[in-house]
């Protein structure tokens, strides 16, 4: 049985690159908040939520690289790396269920 993940909610939003970075980060935050409203009734539901969290983190990291202030950029990259580590831990734990 293959896993199919519905990414339509991500595809309906226009690409945020080239737009106001604050608006792009707000869109990422809203997307992450919607993940909390998703049903978590099965292992596949959890895996889908974890995947979407990981994709949101990758999107945020790409936006972070465009921040001109080096201190802010470094601090946010460190946060993003930690989020990536937590997503990987969640992925492994979900796979073990």
* Residue 80 predicted with pLDDT over 90: yes
Residue 63 lies in a domain: yes
Q: What is the residue-averaged pLDDT of the chain?
A: 82
Share of the chain above pLDDT 70, in %: 80
**Around Cβ 44, how many Cβ atoms within 10 Å?**
13
Residue 50 lies in a domain: yes
Residue 72 lies in a domain: yes
Residue 26 lies in a domain: yes
How many domains does the chain divide into?
1
* Residue 53 predicted with pLDDT over 90: yes
* Residue 7 predicted with pLDDT over 60: no
Residue 83 lies in a domain: yes
Provide the token pair at 59.
Answer: 């999107």
Q: Which residues neighbour 41 within 8 Å (Cβ) at sequence distance 6 or greater?
A: none
Q: From 86, 71, 34, 11, select the one nearest 26 (Cα to Cα).
A: 34
Domain region containing 73: 18-95
First to last CA, the chain: 17
Residue 12 lies in a domain: no
């Amino acid at each position: 049985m293959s896993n199919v993940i519905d990414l339509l909610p991500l595809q309906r939003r226009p690409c945020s690159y080239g737009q106001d970075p604050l608006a792009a980060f707000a869109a990422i935050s809203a997307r992450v908040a919607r993940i909390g409203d998703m049903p978590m009734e099965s292992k596949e539901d959890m895996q889908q939520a974890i995947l979407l969290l990981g994709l949101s983190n990758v999107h945020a990291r790409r936006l972070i690289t465009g921040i001109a202030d080096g201190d802010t950029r470094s601090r946010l990259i460190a946060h993003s790396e930690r989020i990536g580590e937590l997503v990987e831990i969640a992925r492994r734990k979900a796979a073990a269920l």
